[in-house]
Chains A and B, each alone.
Chain A
């Protein structure tokens, strides 16, 4: 196959590209430039957006012995990912831009361009496994290394996208990938993993949002209310600085009467009111998902001992039953409670290790309601 390897400059995508070459494919490396004004050097835990990362990717391609180019995806990325991220926060929701990037950029804009240019597939360093099922469709399964599994952020890929995806690392553990990188002479072997949102330079999401949403959102200031008593506990300067389940940084002077920590329970974007309360009030028994994305055949329902959902990246698996409505929307009943889940996050549906699909959480059902 002719494979386009997306190379972030990190260790995973470098080893993925090397493995694709070793498997006998004709591989070309591409670094996706997602920012129009990249910083020179990496800082903190971001791993793909600086000139240094681009150079790391180029040097990895040299060592692997493949052609290398930089593709400018900055406009598409801004329109499809960054703008969406801001709009979602402005509406009081908590988006995951990595899923959005996989759905709209890596396996849409990049994949489409790659296919048109004569490539057969796009390879990335994501940890997930692909295999062909009995029905001939491509199935996506969790990675062998559950600690690194990234099937959650890939849960938005449909069959057409999966059919042209290659994930060479799905059968490997991260330490083994690092060792392999060192053996292959890749200088990125000990480069730190990236964690934070790549386009938020200093990792300060709230500050980043305040700078950009300051004018767009009228409620720069709002009240922090005790959800039980209705008492005003304090004020804040921008509800987009909060995420449901957040505990730190509330800056509430008076402690709760019971002495227990308080968490953000709800954000009302119109009034700017942020409601807080004790941890047990965060417990959810169900979520409703819109904008479903299916990896293969659309099920009418999912039930049984193997069915589970994951509600955030690196989050726990929750056993669940899922019903798909006539409108395609998804109702998830959780068999054990989940905490700190916010509208805007994705619910990814699993049958055993297989990803069935995903949806964007539009509302949640609390245990106490």
Chain B
């Protein structure tokens, strides 16, 4: 167990500490009364906070305020986009039953897709990625052109949450737009880390969430173009364009907006600082463990190929969860980057899709940096990783 009370937190891609501005905005409204849907003065005051927050987010993301639909977070926004757009597109034209996506999406997209396939007649095609984890555009092109009229929607994440590889969103949108096919992108990891402009992207829908950008948990949004019809998942009071019913979370949304505004304003400087730290981390780890392999697109100067705060390695001969435990015992917190809601770690579907063997996929760890990360954090990891890898290798032998 660590004697240092402050852990070295290298898991910002899981969740990042709330920024003071967001905490302030959240707590400022926690004690307020007033349902934003109420017609009296207190209701109007709450509604004003919500609408100002919506405008703040719209300003930051290059969309119109009316295009921001607040949700309980990224998973709900992804579900709303994938199911809601599939249902409305299929409802308008029954032959539109194909959904094109990638094999490396987050489970918040993959599982709704599988569910649609199992229960709602969707034909889901998970398109291949290359060894860096980047969508093969030729595969997407071929799949669309085989029968464009049958495609209900395309969903491709902006940046992969495990290996950090950025996806060719511009090209995806161009391919789909040629046939009038709507495109959704899960940008949960991208907002605040890379430039994200909704209007400029040409996307029809985009997912973001509060707790990945320094805001509170339990609040997120689906940005969705006004012309795009989305069938509701949650029915009730008709809030949020009748797409997402439920009493609006005024304080959460205020905190969320403050975080989005700040992270977008500071994006460039933040990314610059993180990529320097990330490069130090990658170089440090590779120096101590020369046969470790950096997974995902290799950062290359100015080219935007990878999230600036992401470093994802395979450590040959190690079990990722042994390594995680050994680092945790030294106060260094990271992730195996794989789904383990059941507590049983599964080999990462992202690495498997990138062509890695099951063994390599299980030997992986993700280190993700954020706004509180320091050189000292990176140096602590570099100091600890050698002995931990040695020990984890012995444990697997």
Interface residues of A, Cβ cutoff 8 Å to B? 26, 28, 31, 33, 36, 38, 51, 54-55, 58, 67, 69-72, 74, 112-113, 116-118
Contacts and interface: CB of A to CB of B under 8 A. Distances in A.
A299 to B, nearest CB: 34
Given A113-B395, A117-B325, A117-B392, A67 B1 contact: yes
Nearest to B397: A116
A38 B397 contact: no
Nearest to B395: A116
A33 B343 contact: yes
Nearest to B345: A72
A67 B342 CA distance: 18
B197 interface: no
B344 A74 contact: yes
Contact of B344 (A33, A55, A113): A33
B323 to A, nearest CB: 10
Contacts of A113: 322, 395-396
A74 B396 CA distance: 15
Contact of B343 (A36, A51, A118): A51
Residue with the highest number of chain A CB atoms closer than 10 Å, among B325, B344, B392: B344
Interface string B234-246: 0000000000000
Contacts of A112: 395
A117 B330 CA distance: 13
Interface string B115-141: 000000000000000000000000000
B326 interface: yes
B345 A70 contact: yes
Given A31-B343, A33-B343, A33-B344, A72 B321 contact: yes
B395 A38 contact: no
A121 to B, nearest CB: 15
Nearest to A38: B342
Given A26-B1, A67-B328, A72-B321, A117 B395 contact: yes
Please classify the interface of chain B as helix (H, G, I), strand (E, B), loop, or mixed, using the class held by over half of its residues.
helix
Contacts of A36: 344
Interface in B332-377: 340, 342-345
Please classify the interface of chain A as helix (H, G, I), strand (E, B), loop, or mixed, using the class held by over half of its residues.
mixed
A67 B329 contact: yes
Interface of B: 1, 321-322, 324-326, 328-329, 340, 342-345, 391-392, 394-397
Contacts of B397: 116
A198 to B, nearest CB: 15
Contacts of A31: 343
A33 B325 CA distance: 16
Residue with the highest number of chain B CB atoms closer than 10 Å, among A28, A74, A113: A113
B321 A69 contact: yes
Given A67-B329, A113-B322, A113-B396, 17 more contacts: A28-B325, A28-B329, A33-B343, A55-B343, A58-B343, A67-B1, A69-B324, A71-B321, A72-B344, A72-B345, A112-B395, A113-B395, A116-B394, A116-B395, A117-B322, A117-B326, A117-B392
Contacts of A72: 321, 344-345
Contacts of B340: 70
A54 B391 CA distance: 26
The 10 closest A-B pairs by CB, nearest first: A116-B395, A70-B343, A116-B394, A33-B344, A54-B343, A113-B395, A117-B395, A72-B344, A51-B342, A69-B325
Contacts of A74: 344
A284 B54 CA distance: 82
A31 B340 CA distance: 13
A25 to B, nearest CB: 12
Nearest to B325: A69
Contacts of B326: 117-118
Contacts of B345: 70, 72
B121 to A, nearest CB: 26
Given A116-B397, A117-B322, A117-B325, A70 B392 contact: no
28 contacts: A26-B1, A28-B325, A33-B342, A33-B344, A38-B342, A38-B344, A54-B342, A55-B343, A58-B343, A67-B1, A67-B325, A67-B329, A69-B321, A70-B340, A70-B344, A71-B321, A72-B344, A72-B345, A113-B322, A113-B395, A113-B396, A116-B394, A116-B395, A116-B397, A117-B322, A117-B325, A118-B326, A118-B391
Contacts of A67: 1, 325, 328-329
A72 B324 CA distance: 14
B146 to A, nearest CB: 35
A112 B391 CA distance: 12
A97 to B, nearest CB: 20
A31 B325 CA distance: 13
A70 B338 CA distance: 13
Nearest to A69: B325
A67 B321 CA distance: 14
Contacts of B321: 69, 71-72
A36 B343 CA distance: 10
Contacts of B344: 33, 36, 38, 70, 72, 74
Contacts of A54: 342-343
A33 B321 CA distance: 13
A54 B345 CA distance: 13
A70 B340 CA distance: 10
Contacts of B394: 116
Contacts of B322: 113, 117
Nearest to B341: A51
A118 B326 CA distance: 9
A113 B345 CA distance: 17
Contacts of B1: 26, 67
Contacts of A55: 343
Given A26-B1, A69-B321, A72-B321, A116 B329 contact: no
B301 to A, nearest CB: 39
Nearest to A70: B343
A117 B342 CA distance: 24
A335 B343 CA distance: 50
Contacts of A58: 343
A118 B328 CA distance: 14
A69 B344 CA distance: 10
B391 A117 contact: yes
Contacts of B342: 33, 38, 51, 54
A112 B1 CA distance: 21
